[in-house]
Amino acid sequence: MKPELASISNSRQDTQSLLSVRDLVVEYSIRQGSLRAVDGASLDVHPGELMAVVGESGCGKSTLAYSIIRHVPYPGEIKGGTILFDGQDVLGMDRKALRQFRWKEIAIVFQAAQNALNPVMRIADQMVDTVLDHEKQPREQIIQRASSLLEMVRLNPDRVLRSYPFELSGGMRQRVIIALSLLLNPRMLILDEPTTALDVVTQVYILDILADIRQDLGLAMMLLTHDIAIVARVADRVAVMYAGQIVEEGAINDIFYHPRHPYTYGLIQSAPSLIGDLTKKKPIEGAPPNFLNMPSGCRFHPRCAYATSVCREKEPVMEASDRWRVACHHWREIEMGE
Ligand SMILES: Nc1ncnc2c1ncn2[C@@H]1O[C@H](COP(=O)(O)OP(=O)(O)OP(=O)(O)O)[C@@H](O)[C@H]1O
Ligand code: SF4
Ligand SMILES: [Mg+2]
């Protein structure tokens, strides 16, 4: 039995949000045309909340993250929408305001950031430079804060501060980057695939550390990943992204055990890190669409076992209750897994 909707609306406005993204459109201008990597994405992150954004490679996760700090790489451009952080209009900020905003309000751990540490500088100097880039502080004070953050990510501060990046393992470097991103005490941390290059045990270890940090510092987090199972242990809510659009969103416990969108169900079935029987994992059939030649109607229809003619003809609208939202013509009827 499907639950009845208490109310349905297409655009939930959320006055409690720390971060509020509405109808975001981001395009890369490439030789073949305009590639719309994010197409009308809306989401909210509340203070202290951990929001996961999940989807296959190329669905637009990193582009979404870059947009939030207005750092979309060339030839990308934000074409529409609004981004509010604690009520401030991020897209309207001048250079000075943007500089304050990045790192001090929102910090980001970029995808593969563990490889971006300067190889010829000791970690201590990289910590000091990062802070001095933004504000004047005595070196001892910076080292003190760096030490306590390194302890928080379960590293030995004395050893690590003296080290060069090559002296640390991949997992340790990732933890250094997380500590570095927290130096200016941001209210929100965005982590783009923070565990992808690491072995499963280290992935779990880092997620536990993130959970501790969130509890100790009370900051909000947005965690972008292709692996819904790994975030199920730590996230409060999840937004599922397909071909530049958010197709489902809600509390992780609800979405993970009762997905309404067939793509979400596919992600859960194919999740590489689920503890359990590897032989039961089923990859989603077919490939993500070409952004320059999107399928008509529902973008997922060529890969969806439940697709009907309406799916091929009409784009589904987002339907929302006060706890979740989904964009699928048939979410009411389909019993996932049958
Ligand atoms: N600099 C760029 N120039 C042109 N196209 C780009 C650029 N960066 C990303 N894209 C395209 O935009 C789309 C979204 O890419 P994005 O990197 O945001 O996805 P992603 O979900 O982060 O993928 P992954 O999981 O592989 O990191 C893809 O089709 C990608 O090819
Ligand atoms: S709208 Fe149709 S094609 Fe798209 S996910 Fe739902 S059932 Fe599948
Ligand atoms: Mg990415």
DSSP string for 255-306: HHHS--SHHHHHHHHH-TT-SS-GGG--PPSS-PPPTTSPPSSSTTGGG-TT
**What are φ and ψ of residue 308, in 5° steps?**
-125, -175
Asked whether 316 lines ligand 2 (CB < 6 A), one says yes
The reported pLDDT for the residue numbered 14 is: 64
Ligand 2 centroid to 329 CA: how many Å?
6
What is the atom index within ligand 1 of the atom nearest the CA of 74?
1
Whole-angstrom CA distances from 164 to 120, 148, 195, 260 are 7, 19, 21, 47
> Are the CB atoms for 179 and 157 separated by under 8 Å?
no
Other Cβ atoms within 10 Å of 215 Cβ, number: 10
The one-digit pLDDT tens for each residue of the chain (338 residues) are 343 343 333 344 566 899 999 999 999 999 999 999 999 999 999 999 999 999 999 999 999 999 999 999 999 999 999 999 999 999 999 999 999 899 999 999 998 887 889 999 999 999 999 999 999 999 999 999 999 999 999 999 999 999 999 999 999 999 999 999 999 999 999 999 998 888 888 888 999 999 999 999 999 999 999 999 888 989 999 999 999 999 999 999 999 989 999 999 999 998 865 555 666 678 899 999 999 999 999 999 999 999 999 999 999 999 999 899 999 999 999 987 65
What is the atom index within ligand 1 of the atom nearest the CA of 241?
21
The reported pLDDT for the residue numbered 198 is: 83
Kind and range of the H or E run holding 33: strand 33-45
What is the domain partition of the chain in residue ranges? 19-105+186-326, 118-185
Ligand 1 centroid to 15 CA: how many Å?
31
The reported pLDDT for the residue numbered 252 is: 94
| Ligand 1 pocket, mutate which of 26, 54, 61 (most atoms under 8 A from CB) | 61
Q: Of 227, 206, 20, whose CA–CA distance to 109 is shortest?
A: 206
pTM for the whole structure: 0.94
The reported pLDDT for the residue numbered 8 is: 34
* pLDDT tens digit sequence for 110-148: 988 878 899 999 999 999 999 999 999 999 999 999 999
Report which protein residue has its CA nearest ligand 1's atom 16.
60
CATH architecture of the domain covering 19-105+186-326: 3-Layer(aba) Sandwich (3.40)
Report which protein residue has its CA nearest ligand 1's atom 17.
62
Asked whether 36 lines ligand 1 (CB < 6 A), one says no
Ligand positioned closest to the Cα atom of 262: 2
Q: Near ion ligand 3, which residues have CB within 5 Å?
A: 61-62, 111
